């Protein structure tokens, strides 16, 4: 296997709050190969946003602390990089787009201003050249009338257009990795369709790897090549998208797949995962999913399951599949 573009190894992050210590991430392992679209799926509070932000070291400290592990970007440990190196990487080699573009764009500057700023900063060109680059990028994201758009303020654009601006901005420096944190969750479904198609197309053309975070399994199924499932701060399953949907191993993944209503299938009642997502201040011992798992047995309460490769490329962290089992 070629060297992975991004390798997160045993990452643990905790938040120190008045209420106690929130164990947001624990021993998280994730790899992204060059040129692939990697999905990260999980529900609210599972830690996927924390994961995304930690790659760019955007976790505020205090109250967050990285208590263990490393994040290797092309072999270099980002957690040990100093400020100047981080600035070189952010926006340039690793870019990020967020769910709510209104908060990522400064409302008092025009779109053009902000886009050009990024280009000038990283590519060290003058303003008119930067403007050309921006127009080109806007054309790549199929923005009608790019010159006019540059002169507009963020609030004058619709949600879908703002996301396209964000995509254009973040890809203008041809980064190696794009982290997309729920980029289409706040958009209407027809607009989401447009944005996802544009993103998919652009990403393949430029050759950017993507870490695509979402809670929507439909989007993940349509867009990603491989996917990791997160639950309560841990990765519970990683596989190719085909394998995951065709043969989910972890009980949580199974439950999740059965809980989504689909336009294709017709079921009277949806299968439900009993209970609720645990608070991470005092997460359950052993396997964090055990209180809700219909298949739990003895070891689940106390022993933390490790990621185990069930079939090539398909890993699960579950005692049902351990050494000598499954």
Q: How far is the CB of 268 from another protein (least distance, A)?
A: 8
Q: How far is the CB of 325 from another protein (least distance, A)?
A: 26
By beta-carbon proximity to another protein, the closer residue of 19 and 128 is: 19
Among 215, 184, 185, which Cα is nearest to 43's?
215
Q: How far is the CB of 11 from another protein (least distance, A)?
A: 23
Q: How far is the CB of 187 from another protein (least distance, A)?
A: 9
Q: How far is the CB of 138 from another protein (least distance, A)?
A: 15
By beta-carbon proximity to another protein, the closer residue of 128 and 269 is: 269
Distance CA(79)–CA(69), nearest Å, equals 9
Neighbours of 60 (CB within 10 A): 8
- Tell me the CA distances in angstroms from 105 to 31, 98, 112, one per residue in order: 30, 10, 11
Neighbours of 89 (CB within 10 A): 22
CB 152 within 8 A of CB 110: yes
By beta-carbon proximity to another protein, the closer residue of 70 and 200 is: 200
Beta strand extents in 188-320 (DSSP E only): 209-214, 226-231, 234-240, 308-311, 314-316
Can you give the binding site for another protein, defined by CB under 8 A?
17-19, 43-44, 158, 160-161, 188-194, 196-198, 215-223, 241-242, 245-246, 255-257, 259-264, 266-273, 276-277
Distance CA(174)–CA(3), nearest Å, equals 20
Based on the number of CB atoms within 10 Å of its own CB, is 148 exposed (0-12), middle (13-18) or buried (19 or more)? exposed
Distance CA(169)–CA(166), nearest Å, equals 5
By beta-carbon proximity to another protein, the closer residue of 122 and 250 is: 250
Record the tokens describing residue 301, joined without a space: 């309460």
Q: How far is the CB of 269 from another protein (least distance, A)?
A: 5
By beta-carbon proximity to another protein, the closer residue of 131 and 140 is: 140
By beta-carbon proximity to another protein, the closer residue of 173 and 277 is: 277
């Amino acid at each position: 296997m070629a060297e992975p573009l991004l390798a997160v190894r045993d990452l643990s992050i905790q938040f120190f709050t008045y209420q106690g210590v929130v164990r947001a991430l624990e021993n998280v392992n994730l790899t992204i190969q060059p040129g692939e679209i990697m999905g990260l799926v999980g529900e609210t509070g599972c830690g996927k946003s924390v994961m995304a932000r930690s790659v760019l070291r955007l976790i505020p400290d205090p109250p967050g602390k990285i208590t263990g592990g490393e994040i290797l970007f092309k072999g270099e440990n980002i957690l040990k990089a100093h400020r100047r190196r981080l600035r070189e990487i952010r926006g340039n080699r690793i870019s990020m787009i967020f769910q709510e573009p209104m908060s990522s764009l400064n409302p008092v500057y025009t779109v053009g201003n902000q886009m050009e700023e990024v280009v000038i900063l990283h590519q060290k060109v003058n303003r008119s050249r930067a403007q050309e680059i921006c127009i080109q990028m806007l054309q790549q994201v199929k923005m009608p009338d790019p010159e006019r758009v540059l002169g507009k303020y963020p609030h004058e654009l619709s949600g879908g257009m703002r996301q396209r601006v964000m995509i254009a901005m973040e890809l203008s420096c041809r980064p190696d990795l794009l982290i997309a944190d729920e980029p289409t969750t706040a958009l209407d479904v027809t607009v989401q369709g447009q944005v996802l198609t544009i993103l998919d197309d652009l990403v393949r053309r430029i050759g950017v790897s993507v870490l695509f975070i979402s809670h929507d399994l439909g989007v993940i199924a349509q867009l990603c090549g491989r996917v990791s499932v997160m639950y309560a701060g841990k990765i519970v399953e990683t596989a190719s998208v085909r394998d995951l949907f065709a043969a989910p191993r972890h009980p949580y993944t199974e439950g999740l797949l059965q809980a989504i209503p689909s336009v294709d299938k017709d079921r009277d009642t949806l299968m439900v995962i009993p209970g609720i997502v645990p608070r991470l201040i005092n997460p359950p011992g052993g396997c964090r999913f055990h209180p809700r798992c219909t298949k739990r047995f003895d070891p689940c309460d106390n022993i933390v399951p490790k990621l185990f490769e069930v079939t090539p490329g398909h890993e699960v962290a579950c005692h049902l599949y351990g050494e000598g089992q499954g």
